[in-house]
């Protein structure tokens, strides 16, 4: 609306105060990680480090096999992303451009999968993982993460593929292109923004996941970052500087992926939520 | 398929006294696991705690999210930066933020106690947040609100950009003030999205899990246990898969009924999903 300037200033201040509340916990986390560990917490809390040291980072990275956790998480997230995007692109293409028997039934099942929270089926999933020999294995994590993500990404990509103009599709048919060439040459390039959205979601999903990993991973060498950090906190109950140094290292890639893929991310949320 | 099969299997397991050892035969016990859950005081404590969590988090998250979305909808300096800052808690893993909030809610010299006593002078004594039931639920809820406000905000921002500008202008010409425009133009304009956010937030509240596990682990003495932490312990600490499955099924049915009722009461037009 035609804003009067005083109102605009008030609005800016209110939003800024809100943003401070969102960010303050992270500032405390970062400055704790950059200060020497003490058994007594500083009061008032430090939003910026007063005594600067990188000790916690050095210890977090060199001890406790933290590098291994980082690599495990990286492997699991990247593999999940590749598998999820590849599989859901193909299923979404099938839903968008082919007619087959029980198509609507299958799609409804997929949507139902979106509504059911993963944790409700954790027991049978665990038994299934056990029977498939996928317990305590990073590939097993990739398999179940991918299975868990496909419903959402297929839903996202189908809407996008459906908007590809039929004329382009037909023009390629006239040129003698088969399904594979259409998929690779037309649909995939046009859907690049949506594929990026799907990729950002599945990467972050794999990177942040905790409960399933906690359930199936027992070998300390196969821990992912969330497991590693939680175990860290259990082992050093008062060494918060150490725990937070590890947390900062774990959160950094997420922030980078999120800020870099922000546009796609927000597009994805909006596509899922608004009509 | 990846969810359908385990779901049916879950139903099957819940009727058995399931044996974890493959060589032993599981015993079919019908509805015994369900009857046991419905008579289990700890399960009901968990349901009550989840309900408290819902009451403390859902209205606050939706209102705060919508409030900031309305403010950020207008042009202002650093708008994109603000959107990023509000959203960072959403993308941060539950493990990191749960441990962070556990630290902030420490009893002696924790940041929250400092803020309430020395900064606001709200109270003179440190509150032992995580050591008693209700204050622990407040701390867990504070994390819940803080972590999902950004998500609501982004969803509402997207919805707000779909409300036609002319409607606001027409309302302004009719003499409607800002609050009236909000009630009569904005709210009806994003009705479908409001319902969608509400339903998902309610589902999320009954599924609260990692934050409780990491902040209190259900303690002290099981008083902050929620349905999923209790279910998880029954299944994976006591290896009672049948009982765990039965509880997750009761929870799933409960969530389904609640979601259905919300659609019935609040949604005239079905415009959720696309």
Instruction: Tell me the C-alpha distance between B47 and A46, whole Å.
Output: 38
pLDDT for B16: 66
Q: Would you say residue A172 lies in a domain? A: yes
Cβ neighbours of B2 in A, within 8 Å: 113, 147-148, 150-151
Report the percentage of chain B scoring pLDDT > 90: 26
Q: In this structure, is residue A12 part of a structural domain?
A: no
What distances in angstroms separate CA B252 from CA A213, B6, B7, B44, B82, one per listed residue?
A: 22, 13, 10, 15, 36
Residue B271's pLDDT is what? 45
What lies within 8 Å, CB to CB, of B136 at 6+ separation is B129, B130, B215, B216, B223, B224
Percent with pLDDT over 70 in chain B: 86
Q: Which residue of A has its CA nearest to B158?
A: A270
Average pLDDT over residues B25-44: 78
Q: A217 CB contacts (<8 Å, ≥6 apart)? A: A136, A141, A223, A224, A227
In a domain, B13, yes or no: no
Task: Give the residue ranges of DSSP H helices in chain A.
Answer: 5-33, 55-62, 66-97, 103-115, 122-131, 138-162, 166-174, 179-182, 188-190, 192-208, 211-216, 225-235, 240-260, 262-273
- Whether B195 is covered by a domain: the verdict is yes
Count CB atoms within 10 A of the CB of residue B195: 20
Closest alpha carbon to B235 in A144, A116, A120: A120
For residue B192, the domain's CATH number is 1.10.3720.10
User: What's the pLDDT tens digit per position in A58-73?
Assistant: 888 887 788 889 999 9
In a domain, A32, yes or no: no
Q: Does A30 touch chain B (CB under 8 A)?
A: no
The label of the residue with tokens 């699991």 reads: A76
Select the more confidently predicted residue: B48 or B111.
Answer: B48
Give the largest Cα separation in chain A, rounded.
75
Q: What is the mean pLDDT of residues A39-60?
A: 79
Quick check: is A16 in a domain? no
Distance separating alpha carbons of residues B140 and B212, to the nearest angstrom? 7
First to last CA, chain A: 25
Nearest to B13 by CA among B211, B264, B207, B235: B235
Please compute, for residue A148, the number of CA atoms within 13 A of its CA located in the half-sphere on the CB side. Answer: 25
The mean-pLDDT minimum among A196-200, B16-20, B56-60 falls in B16-20
pLDDT attached to residue A32: 87
For A249-253, A260-264, A269-273, B40-44, which range has the lowest pLDDT when averaged over its residues? A269-273
Find which of B31-45, B50-64, B257-271 is predicted with most confidence, using mean pLDDT: B50-64
pLDDT higher than 90, residue A171:
no
Q: For residues A27 and B255, give the distance between their C-alpha atoms in angstroms, rounded to a whole number.
A: 37
Q: Residue B268: which pLDDT band, with cuts at 50, 70 and 90? A: low
pLDDT band at B23 (very low <50, low <70, confident <90, very high): low
pLDDT at A74: 94
Q: Which of A2-6, A121-125, B16-20, B249-253 has the lowest mean pLDDT?
A: B16-20
Domain assignment of residue A68, given as a range: 58-273
How many residues are there in chain A? 275
CA–CA dist A233, A242 (Å, integer): 9
> How confident is residue B2, by pLDDT bands cut at 50, 70 and 90?
low
Specify the range with the lowest mean pLDDT, choosing from A88-92, A95-99, B77-81.
A95-99
Name the domain count of chain A: 1
- For residue B200, the surrounding DSSP H or E stretch is helix B191-206
Confidence at residue B239, expressed as pLDDT on a 0 to 100 scale: 85
Q: Residue A162: which CATH number?
A: 1.10.3720.10
Dihedral angle over CA of B261, B267, B269, B271, nearest 10: -90
Q: Across the A/B interface, how many CB contacts are shorter than 8 Å?
A: 214
Phi, psi of B16 (to 5 degrees): -115, 160
φ/ψ bin of A176: left (φ > 0), alpha (ψ from -120 to 50), beta (otherwise): left
Query: Residue B163: is it exposed, middle or buried by C-beta count within 10 angstroms (0-12/13-18/19+)?
Result: middle
B100·A244 Cβ contact <8 A = yes
Highest mean pLDDT of the ranges A37-51, A74-88, A90-104, A258-272: A74-88
> Which among A119, A128, A207 has CB closest to B209?
A119
**In a domain? residue B77:** yes
Q: Which residue has the higher pLDDT, A262 or B105?
A: B105
Residue B6 has pLDDT above 70, yes or no: no
Cα nearest neighbour of A240 on chain B: B103
Q: Which of A125-134, A216-225, A232-241, B195-204 has the lowest mean pLDDT?
A: A232-241
Confidence of residue A258 (pLDDT cuts 50, 70, 90): confident
Burial of A101 (0-12, 13-18, 19+ CB in 10 A): exposed
Classify burial at A23, counting beta carbons within 10 Å of its beta carbon; exposed 0-12, middle 13-18, buried 19 or more: middle
Which range of A74-88, A148-162, B176-190, B211-225 scores highest in mean pLDDT? It is: A74-88
Among B13, B68, B111, select the one facing A28 at the smallest CB separation.
Answer: B111
How far A176 CA lies from chain B's nearest CA (Å)? 33
Residue in the structure block whose two tokens are 């929870």: B251
A105 confidence band (pLDDT: 50, 70, 90): confident
Supply the ipTM of this predicted assembly: 0.86
In a domain, B113, yes or no: no
- Name B27's bridge partners: B17
pLDDT at A1: 47
Option in A11, A230, A259 nearest B95 (CB): A230
Shortest Cα distance from A251 to chain B (angstroms)?
6
A262 within domain boundaries: yes
With a CB-CB cutoff of 8 Å, which residues 211-230 of chain A face chain B?
Answer: 211, 215, 225-226, 229-230
Q: What is the mean pLDDT of residues A120-149?
A: 88
What was the pLDDT predicted at A23? 92
Lowest-confidence range among A49-63, B33-47, B65-79, B257-271?
A: B257-271
- CA-to-CA dists, residue A76 to A138, A142, B175, angstroms: 7, 6, 58
In a domain, A142, yes or no: yes
Q: Which residues of B touch A40 (CB under 8 A)?
A: 108-109
CB B214 within 8 A of CB B232: no
Our count of domains for chain B comes to: 1
Computed over every residue of chain A, the mean pLDDT equals 83
Instruction: Provide the shortest C-alpha distance from residue B260 to chain A (in Å).
Output: 12
Distances (CA, A) of B183 to A10, A96, B75, B189, B198: 21, 38, 21, 10, 17
Yes or no, beta carbons of B162 and A254 under 8 Å apart? no
The yes-or-no verdict on residue B4 having pLDDT over 70 is: no
> What CA dihedral angle connects A165, A167, A170 and A172, to 10 degrees?
-80
- Which chain B residues have a beta carbon less than 8 Å from that of A273? 155, 158-159, 193, 196-197
Mean pLDDT of B57-73: 93
- Asked if the Cβ–Cβ distance from B95 to A159 is below 8 Å, we say no
Q: Measured between CB atoms, which of A14, A115, A275 is closest to B71? A: A14
Contacting residues of A for B168, CB less than 8 Å apart: 1
Query: B274–A159: do the CB atoms touch at under 8 Å?
Result: yes
B99 and A229 in contact by Cβ < 8 A? Answer: yes
Whole-angstrom Cα distance, residue A151 to residue A88?
Answer: 8
pLDDT at B262 over 90: no
Residues A199-230 pLDDT 10s: 888 898 899 899 999 999 988 889 999 998 88
Quote the tokens at residue B68: 């900031």
Candidates B68, B93, B178, B246: best to mutate against A (most CBs of A within 10 A) is B93
Domain of residue B188 covers 28-91+134-266
**Taking 90 as the threshold, does the pLDDT of residue A86 lie above it?**
yes
Q: CB contact, 8 Å: A117 with chain B? A: yes
The dihedral over CA atoms of A145, B211, B13, A76, expressed in degrees to the nearest 10, equals 20
Nearest CA in chain A to B13: A124
CA distance B139 to B58: 15
């Amino acid at each position: 609306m035609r804003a009067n300037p005083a109102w605009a200033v008030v609005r800016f201040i209110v939003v800024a105060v809100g943003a401070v509340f969102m960010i303050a916990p992270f500032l405390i986390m970062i400055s704790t990680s950059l200060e020497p560990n003490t058994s007594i917490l500083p009061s008032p809390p430090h939003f910026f480090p007063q005594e600067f040291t990188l000790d916690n980072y050095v210890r977090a990275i060199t001890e406790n096999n933290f590098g291994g956790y980082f690599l495990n998480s990286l492997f699991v997230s990247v593999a999940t992303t590749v598998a999820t995007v590849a599989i859901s692109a193909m299923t979404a293409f099938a839903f968008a451009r082919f007619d087959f028997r029980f198509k609507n039934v299958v799609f409804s099942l997929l949507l139902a999968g979106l509504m059911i929270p993963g944790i409700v089926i954790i027991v049978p999933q665990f038994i299934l993982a056990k029977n498939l020999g996928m317990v305590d294995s990073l590939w097993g994590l990739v398999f179940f993460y991918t299975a868990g993500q496909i419903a959402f990404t297929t839903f996202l990509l189908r809407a996008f593929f459906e908007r590809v103009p039929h004329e382009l599709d037909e023009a390629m048919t006239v040129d003698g292109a088969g399904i594979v060439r259409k998929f690779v040459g037309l649909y995939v390039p046009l859907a690049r923004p949506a594929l990026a959205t799907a990729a950002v979601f599945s990467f972050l999903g794999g990177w942040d996941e905790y409960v399933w990993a906690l359930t199936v991973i027992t070998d300390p060498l196969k821990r992912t970052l969330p497991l590693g950090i939680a175990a860290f906190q259990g082992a050093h109950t008062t060494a918060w500087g150490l725990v937070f140094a590890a947390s900062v290292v774990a959160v950094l890639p997420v922030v980078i992926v999120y800020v870099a893929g922000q546009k796609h991310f927000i597009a994805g949320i909006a596509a899922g939520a608004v009509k | 398929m990846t969810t359908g099969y385990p779901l049916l299997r879950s139903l099957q397991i819940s009727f058995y006294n399931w044996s974890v050892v493959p060589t032993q035969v599981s015993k079919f016990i019908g509805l015994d696991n369900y009857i046991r859950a419905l008579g289990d005081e700890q399960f009901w404590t968990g349901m009550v705690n989840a309900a408290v969590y819902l009451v403390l988090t859902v209205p606050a998250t939706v209102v705060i999210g919508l409030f900031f979305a309305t403010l950020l909808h207008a042009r202002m300096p650093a708008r994109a930066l603000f959107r990023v800052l509000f959203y960072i808690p959403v993308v941060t893993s539950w493990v990191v933020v749960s441990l962070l909030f556990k630290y902030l809610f420490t009893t002696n010299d924790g940041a929250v106690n400092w803020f309430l006593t020395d900064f606001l002078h709200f109270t003179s004594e440190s509150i032992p947040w995580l050591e008693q039931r209700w204050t622990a639920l407040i701390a867990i809820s504070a994390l819940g609100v803080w972590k999902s406000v950004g998500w609501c905000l982004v969803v509402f921002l997207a919805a707000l950009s779909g409300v036609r500008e002319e409607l606001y202008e027409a309302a302004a010409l009719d003499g409607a003030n800002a609050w009236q425009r909000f009630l009569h133009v904005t709210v009806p304009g994003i009705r479908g999205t409001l319902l969608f956010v509400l339903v998902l937030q309610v589902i999320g509240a009954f599924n609260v899990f990692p934050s409780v596990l990491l902040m209190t682990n259900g303690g002290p003495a099981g008083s902050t246990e929620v349905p999923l932490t209790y279910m998880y312990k029954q299944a994976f600490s006591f290896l009672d898969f049948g009982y765990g499955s039965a509880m997750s099924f009761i929870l799933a049915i409960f969530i389904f009924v609640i979601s259905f009722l919300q659609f019935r009461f609040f949604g005239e037009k079905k415009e959720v999903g696309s």
